[in-house]
Structure 1
């Protein structure tokens, strides 16, 4: 039996059916660049700015957003296959009121279910349309079939990298893969762990130059997050640095990124792309799965 809070959420969603929801996939060319930690703190920054944000942990097999928040998730995506379970039943709340859906191994098993159950699951997830201003998908690092489905179906992609040469190389390899499958995919760079804004700009410019020269594509940059010892400390504490150390350089960097995003610098909405919101997103997912 659904609780009153779930019913209230459903009524709110129905009252906002025409409201656009931006669908953003956060990805990286390799592991270890701080992608999931960025996703978590960026989501909290968006919430602070007044953007209702829901995070979907789509990191197949290595889902760890709940760990970063110090939460042991009791609900997960695969439970949507159970009779009478709704998306509101699996939507969990973390620090700062951030709502999220834990993925775990659910996505890999989701690929194996029959079409009828898959459609039921997607229809439930589509109910988030209008409920949130922004839905962030935290994917696995690197190139995998699962990550590519989220990347190619989303309205826009935030690609997290660092100034390290191996990270830059792997980021470009992912950009090349995305471009080969859909040249129209909107990719924006986030340079993490920079020693200065100048280093961040140099890294972004390098990637943009190579993409323009060899792929004839324009890469935009959302911004940079400074290298900050507080980030590692907060991971060990299992608390988001944006909340625990709000005046830290890393938290200020996140606020700058949020400000750039909400000002609409290069932002692309589902209405502008004609993607059709969550319904269009999951229609693309269905086609890629089948």
Structure 2
């Protein structure tokens, strides 16, 4: 009897949390491939999860979706099965380390561009159910500015641009910011400089992009943080275990934790603002962009 009462209390508490939780939609992108974007996304999401936030990662990297590979998981279903109405949104959600929820994209995001209005409505209805289910939905997009990636950047509440100190990476990262800005969309960008030799190099790289954006675009691009070039990261990738779990005391892991703390401190959006621009706002923008 006591067990039943406790189960009922847990159910009511879970429902209350879903009703009161606000959801923020974030896009993670990069100007070019090979900068460690997906690895950052996964470990960033896991770190937020360990800090008490509920996170869902949407793998939107068309053709190169690898969030599941980084965790050594083979998901049975992905977005494609949702769009074909073979599965519901809840049936394509899988769980990884620390119960991190993720949705595999596969070829599904390419199909998004060819949906009929009726199919778009179904997609919106299904994804809309995630509103309040998690604190953050993080879309890991493809590298570069494809049509699909652009839509996620424009629809999300915030975009994190991952780059490295390499000149080509810096140039391509700025190109994304410039192109979106020139479309007259006010997208809040934040920088993550990956694979730095030290904080000085990270600061120098971030300043390069920020100064140019300020001079030619008249916008501020704040820096979220730097992640060092760490041999433990590649070791973790080979083991198919996120580096923050395989090597929690590594330099890269410590940097991700500091970066996550910085990110959390910047979350001061009110509940009303989030309801307007959260999942519902994301879907509204996305559908307009897809039509």
TM over 0.5: yes
Is contact 2:23-2:274 (8 Å) kept? no
Quote the residue 1:281 is aligned against: 282
Query: Measured at CA, do residues 127 and 163 of structure 1 come closer, stay the same or move farther in structure 2, by a change above 3 Å?
Result: same
Q: CA deviation at 1:17?
A: 3.3
Is contact 1:54-1:135 (8 Å) kept? yes
Alignment of 1:258-273 (within 5 A): 258-264=260-266, 271-272=272-273
Is contact 1:13-1:129 (8 Å) kept? no
Quote the residue 2:3 is aligned against: none
Alignment of 1:34-49 (within 5 A): 34-49=36-51
Is contact 1:155-1:268 (8 Å) kept? no
Give TM-score, length-normalised by structure 1. 0.92
Question: What is the CA–CA distance in structure 1 between the aligned matches of 2:289 and 2:36, rounded to whole Å?
Answer: 28
Question: What is the CA–CA distance in structure 2 between the aligned matches of 1:255 and 1:98, rounded to whole Å?
Answer: 16
Is contact 2:157-2:277 (8 Å) kept? no
Query: Measured at CA, do residues 12 and 273 of structure 1 come closer, stay the same or move farther in structure 2, by a change above 3 Å?
Result: closer
Q: CA deviation at 1:81?
A: 3.2
- Give ranges in structure 1 of 5+ residues lacking alignment: 1-7
Is contact 1:275-1:281 (8 Å) kept? no
Quote the residue 2:56 is aligned against: 54
Is contact 1:225-1:253 (8 Å) kept? yes
Which of 42, 51, 63 does residue 65 from structure 2 map onto? 63
Is contact 1:191-1:225 (8 Å) kept? yes
Question: What is the CA–CA distance in structure 1 between the aligned matches of 2:210 and 2:157, rounded to whole Å?
Answer: 20
Is contact 1:66-1:72 (8 Å) kept? yes
Quote the residue 2:157 is aligned against: 155
RMSD of aligned C-alpha atoms?
2.1
User: Does 1:191 find its partner at 2:193?
Assistant: yes
Alignment of 1:179-218 (within 5 A): 179-218=181-220
Question: What is the CA–CA distance in structure 1 between the aligned matches of 2:50 and 2:17, rounded to whole Å?
Answer: 23
Q: CA deviation at 1:276?
A: 3.0
Give TM-score, length-normalised by structure 2. 0.91
Is contact 2:23-2:275 (8 Å) kept? no
Helix, strand or coil: the match of 1:71? coil
Helix, strand or coil: the match of 2:257? helix
What CA deviation, in whole Å up to 9, does each residue of 1:119-152 have, x standing for no partner?
1122111111101001100000011110000000
Is contact 2:22-2:274 (8 Å) kept? no
Question: What is the CA–CA distance in structure 1 between the aligned matches of 2:114 and 2:87, rounded to whole Å?
Answer: 19
Query: Measured at CA, do residues 140 and 49 of structure 1 come closer, stay the same or move farther in structure 2, by a change above 3 Å?
Result: same
What CA deviation, in whole Å up to 9, does each residue of 1:88-147 have, x standing for no partner?
111100122111000011111122121112211221111111010011000000111100
Question: What is the CA–CA distance in structure 1 between the aligned matches of 2:221 and 2:259, rounded to whole Å?
Answer: 16
Is contact 2:83-2:108 (8 Å) kept? no
Question: What is the CA–CA distance in structure 2 between the aligned matches of 1:211 and 1:108, rounded to whole Å?
Answer: 31
Quote the residue 1:5 is aligned against: none
> What is the aligned residue count?
282
User: Which segments of structure 1 move beyond 4 Å, counting only runs of 4 or more?
Assistant: 11-15, 267-271
- Give ranges in structure 2 of 5+ residues lacking alignment: 1-9
